Amino acid sequence: MKKIEAIFRPEKLDDVKTALAENGFFPLTVSDVRGRGAQKGIQLQYRGKMMEVDLIPKIKIEMVIRDDDVPKAIGTIRAAARTGRYGDGRIFVIPVELSAMVRTGLFVSE
């Protein structure tokens, strides 16, 4: 089992959600986050003075999937979230040891 954490542009949420559902990835958790990447945010020119906006609003989605599905999930998210410009985001894959369902107590470990 792997956990996918994807951080991308807020305006792409609908596209990503739809694309994931179409590819069979339905369960997910969504958060509003703010952060900065390698570009150190966005610099705005103000009458010669530089103004930095270094925490930019993004969306983070988290989903736990089977190992074999990782490439497909990453491909799906990239295709839907990419604009080709700085600030498109990141996708992280994290190993998951266990997943227990609250209602049934069912354990899944792979």
Partner 1 sequence: MIPDSGNTAFILICTALVMLMTPGVGLFYGGLVRRKNLISMFALSFAALAIVSVQWILFGYSLAFGPDIGGLIGSLEYIGLRGVDFSGAGIPDLLFMAFQMMFAAVTLAIITSAVAERIKLSSFIIFGLLWTTLVYDPLAHWVWGGGWMAASGILDFAGGIVVHISAGWGALALALVIGKRAGFGQYSMEPHNIPLTLLGGALLWFGWFGFNAGSALAANGLAVNALIVTNTAAAAGTLAWMAASWINGKPSSIGMISGSIAGLGAITPAAGFIDPIGAVIIGAVSGLLCYYALLWRLNRSLDESLDAWAIHGVGGVWGTVALGIFAVSGIGGITGLIGGSSAQLALQAVGAVAAVAYAFAVTFMIAKAVDLTMGLRVTEEEEYVGLDISQHGESIYV
Residues that bind partner 1 (CB under 8 A): 11-12, 14-15, 42, 44, 51, 53, 56-57
CB 95, min distance to partner 1, A: 33
Buried (b) or exposed (e) across 88-105, using 16+ Cβ within 10 A? bbebebeebeeeeeeeee
Q: Is 86 exposed, middle or buried (0-12, 13-18, 19+ CB in 10 A)?
A: exposed
Identity of the residue, 86 or 107, whose beta carbon is nearer to partner 1 in the bound complex: 86
CB 54, min distance to partner 1, A: 11
CB 100, min distance to partner 1, A: 35
